[in-house]
Amino acid sequence: MKAVVIGAGLGGLSAALALAPMPVVVVSPCELGAGCSSAWAQGGIAAAVGSGDKPEYQFKDTIAVGNGLNDEDIVRQTMDDGPSVIERLEKYGVPFDRDAQGNLSLGLEAAHSKNRIVHAKDATGLAIMMALIKAVRTTPTIEIIENARAIELVLNDGTIHGVILEKGGKEIRLNTPYVILATGGAVALWRDTTVPHENWGGGLALAAKAGATLGDLEFLQFHPTAFDIGRDPMPLASEALRGEGATLITESKERFIDELQARDVVARAIWEQMSQGHRVFLDARTALGTSFAERFPTIYAICKSAGIDPTTAPIPVRPAAHYHMGGIVTDKHGRTDVPGLWACGEVACTGLHGANRLASNSLLEAASFGWHVAEDIKGTPSHEAIEPLREKSNLVHIRDAARRLSPEEKAQRIASIRALMSDNVGVIRDAKGLKSISEELAPFAEVSDRALVGLMIAQSALKREESRGAHYRSDFPDSRAEAVHSRIRLSDLEHLT
């Protein structure tokens, strides 16, 4: 019986490779490797592999940043996996940077107590994905379906029995007792975002409509230093630049923040400067100077394409939606509460990140959980493949209604949702904005998966009446004494018609 992996980023491909020689189908919405955030990751992958470092140290750093919401068992499991993840990736041919002595070259990023960022120049995600794509394409038991999207999970008595894809205007049904959602996050729902447009939360909608529990959706990390040069998505000025000593300044050259504080702190500091009418810049002239192009060739090329010479001028930056800590709730094996459905990567809420992600832990999580999901599926007996009755349902209604939109209407609706999310569920939030967006999105949530996901995120943020980690409420600026996870199911949504 074949397993079906929906999504082709690091988590999905790691799971597919680990499942071999079991037959696997990998479904990608684009050509393999395109449209996934993994390939855009610049900084690197965090792992305790350096001299003097230990998984326990990385565990403590992760817990400190997570603001009380980390699952400690999951953090330990993932940190302990770090060295073996790096070893596996190198076996697939990932060319991580090494020093003159042949040791892994390790960078430093915000809130890490040790240099532990394993990188391949400033295009680590791309290097990893190229190696894994090559491995997947040459694995005979892996079938690849490109330019297709999953539109429905097929259930029988609450158990996964298949998935329906849409490809070229036609529907394809794949029968399977094993579905792995690895569709990425939801941050393309925001107007200012650093991720591919495909990452708008489609996996969250699929899981929610199948009855899965979603968790901590309000925790959305805004990267402090996206290029403010009018591009969509916004290119990223990697945190590694600040790790090398680049500073944040206003147009009057005033430095206003310790750049290596946690991302949410730095993002809010920049947002406050912008709210006062200032522009913010990342200044690497002193820290890197003429070595910029050699150390950060990808970022240097972006600068030059925008008419900026970072060796002589600072880079204009602003916060942008970057990573979603919330997602489909899973256990340590990546299992959801829908039998036959697993999730890994950014679409999942494993408990690793808590209220705020420690930089570069996300690639580690994706690779680690892709392997754990595969191991769990190998040990899970399949149920008998039964052809379920396809009754007229709300799912069919949603698909049919969405198809009636013209391309122009669809583009307008997407732009409207992105603007609403940026204006009301941004770096700083309040009840007024969250109630307003809930009322705006509710009429469309039954005919638009994007609106549905946005509504779930907004209502989760409204219910968390405190500030914690990446979730900041100006009307509730303090944290509660007790850290409590949020959970939401489709049936919990308010304002739906």
- How many Å from the N-terminal Cα to the C-terminal Cα in the chain? 40
Length of the chain: 497
> Of the candidates 150, 130, 155, which has an alpha carbon nearest to the alpha carbon of residue 5?
150
Using DSSP, state whether 227 is helix, strand or coil. strand
Side chain identity at 313, as an amino acid letter? A
Side chain identity at 53, as an amino acid letter? D
Torsion of the alpha carbons at 424, 427, 432 and 434, rounded to the nearest 10: 50
Q: Which region holds residue 42: left if phi is over 0, alpha if psi is between -120 and 50, else beta? A: alpha
Q: In what order do the strands lie in the sheet with 117-118?
A: 45-46, 117-118, 106-107
Give how far Cα 142 sits from Cα of 15, 23, 139, Å: 11, 6, 6
Residue of 263, 318, 335, 429 marked catalytic: 263
For 274-339, give the DSSP string: HHTT--EEEE-TTTTGGGHHHH-HHHHHHHHHTT--TTTSPEEEEEEEEEE--EEE--TT-B-SST
Q: Which residue has the tokens 């049904």?
A: 173
Task: Report the C-alpha gap between 62 and 67 in whole angstroms.
Answer: 9
Task: Report the C-alpha gap between 46 and 361 in whole angstroms.
Answer: 5
46 and 242 in contact (C-beta within 8 Å)? no
SS (H, E, C) 145-200: ECCCEEEEEEEECCEEEEEEEEECCEEEEEECCCEEECCCCCHHHCCCECCCCCCC
Q: Does the annotation count 263 as an active-site position?
A: yes
The residues annotated with a catalytic role in the active site are 263
